[in-house]
Amino acid sequence: MDFGDIIGNEEIKRYLSNCIQKNNISQSYLFVGTEGIGKLLIAKAFAKKILCLEQEKKSNCQCKSCGCFLGGNHPDYFVVNENGETIKIEQIREITSKVIEAPIISNRKVYIINDCDKMTVEAQNCLLKTLEEPPEFAVMILISANENTILNTIKSRCMTIKFGPISKEELRKYAMDKLGYARNVRKFIRFIGWKHWKSNSSKRKTRAIFAS
């Protein structure tokens, strides 16, 4: 899973790649944009690259970090998801209590908080303490489709990156170049994901691609 495998948001991927190349990585990011446009995928690819031990490799890296990442057992990588519609303070405490512990195999630790707008106010305030004084090796990536419920104090600590919709041309080019089955609607829907397909605008957009 590398940036090159992900469709759309080219400018953002370029920007994040540059951050890594120049070793100019912020300690906290907020990825915002509607659901199903690749925020989590890009966050994961970014995390993998941040943690990679052989930064010069463009793709298919075989280093220990990338191996662990793809195996789903990287000790310096953590993802928090909603648990029963909200992200509770206990879930945030679990990560913030260990955030100061040094990374095990990589030079940094990466935390993704998916659907971060679902954090309770208590959870957000708990996270805020870490965002205010993070250990230098920690990178937090907060992901949200609805930034309105995120405290301003959290937002002000993060580098906000706004994701745009995937253009028709990007979808078509990706399907043709990488998959070679732009005419196979079922496979294509499976590729872009049911969630993405379900939203009407995406459905219309995809239909338009195959109709054109």
63 near Zn ion, rule: CB under 5 A: yes
Let me know if 183 is exposed, middle or buried by CB neighbors in 10 A (0-12, 13-18, 19+).
Answer: exposed
Q: Are 43 and 143 in contact (CB under 8 A)?
A: yes
The tokens describing 210, both together, are 């195959």
By CB under 5 A, which span of 54-62, 100-108, 181-189, 196-204 interacts with Zn ion? Answer: 54-62
By CB under 5 A, tell whether 171 contacts Zn ion: no
Which one among 52, 87, 113, 154 touches Zn ion, defined by CB under 5 A? 52
Minimal distance in Å, beta carbon 83 to Zn ion? Answer: 31
Closer by beta carbon to Zn ion, 105 or else 128: 105
Contact between 122 and 116 under an 8 Å Cβ cutoff? The reply is: no
Residue 37 near Zn ion by CB under 5 A: no
Beta partners for residue 144, in sequence order: 32
Q: CA 55: distance to chain centroid?
A: 19
Under rule CB under 5 A, residue 79 binds Zn ion: no
Of 18-26, 62-70, 147-155, 183-191, which part binds Zn ion (CB under 5 A)?
A: 62-70
Neighbouring C-beta atoms of residue 128, cutoff 10 Å: 16
Q: Of 90-119, which residues contact Zn ion (CB under 5 A)?
A: none
